[in-house]
A and B are shown apart, each in its own frame.
Chain A
Amino acid sequence: AQSVTQLGSHVSVSEGALVLLRCNYSSSVPPYLFWYVQYPNQGLQLLLKYTSAATLVKGINGFEAEFKKSETSFHLTKPSAHMSDAAEYFCAVSRRGYSSASKIIFGSGTRLSIRP
């Protein structure tokens, strides 16, 4: 079985500060891991994905995440927050070794607020 736990339902940072959104996963098989962003009243946009190549994954909009197997973590970071980063962020997992015909299991989300 697979699951994802996002630590902190709401994170608030100042503009220009470091963004750190935490995600821990559980998987009985090697996983694919994802971070998605959702802006108000919109669908999900893929930020980045881990598929067993480099453990440090770079995504869009300056975000990156590091896969740490020993800690079963996949935390999302961005060195300097921008007002436009305010959104809901979802960590997600699916089974590796399958095509995208595998279902994606999402965490409960973390709402990121940016203070001016």
Chain B
Amino acid sequence: ETGVTQSPTHLIKTRGQQVTLRCSSQSGHNTVSWYQQALGQGPQFIFQYYREEENGRGNFPPRFSGLQFPNYSSELNVNALELDDSALYLCASSSSSGTSYEQYFGPGTRLTVT
């Protein structure tokens, strides 16, 4: 069973640029959630995708957007990068079937905005 993978591992961007982060969900999982973890803080929920549609969103501006593909992999796009966007971005996959309630996290992408 393959776990959740994310790419790239690290990324450095300049303020105002755009970035795309990628996530491959665990086998059999149809739901992907994205979290932002700023340095020294707990992860904050950005949004969730289920069956290729957004299924809940946290308190993040519209320049944070996402996609989910038919194979349930996902992308997080951030436009007009700001310095405060520097963080570890975590992807978590899960299954919406039955009583499953666990989210399995990937290793994260470390984004630095200069």
Q: Is A44 an interface residue (CB 8 A)?
A: yes
Give the number of residues in B that approach A within 8 Å (Cβ atoms).
33
Give Cα A46–Cα B100 distance, bound, in whole angstroms.
14
Q: Is A51 an interface residue (CB 8 A)?
A: yes
The answer on a CB contact under 8 Å between B102 and A43 is: no
The answer on a CB contact under 8 Å between B105 and A94 is: no
Question: What distance in Å separates the Cβ of B103 from its nearest Cβ neighbour in chain A?
Answer: 6
Q: Is A84 an interface residue (CB 8 A)?
A: no
The 8 A CB mask of A74-106 against B (1 = contact, 0 = none) is 000000000000000010101000111111111
The answer on a CB contact under 8 Å between A46 and B43 is: no
Give Cα A92–Cα B56 distance, bound, in whole angstroms.
18
- A contacts, CB < 8 Å to B: 32, 36, 41-46, 49, 51, 90, 92, 94, 98-109
- List 14 contacting pairs A-B, 8 Å CB cutoff, sorted by A: A32-B101, A44-B43, A46-B102, A46-B104, A49-B101, A99-B31, A99-B98, A99-B99, A100-B31, A101-B50, A101-B55, A101-B94, A103-B48, A106-B44
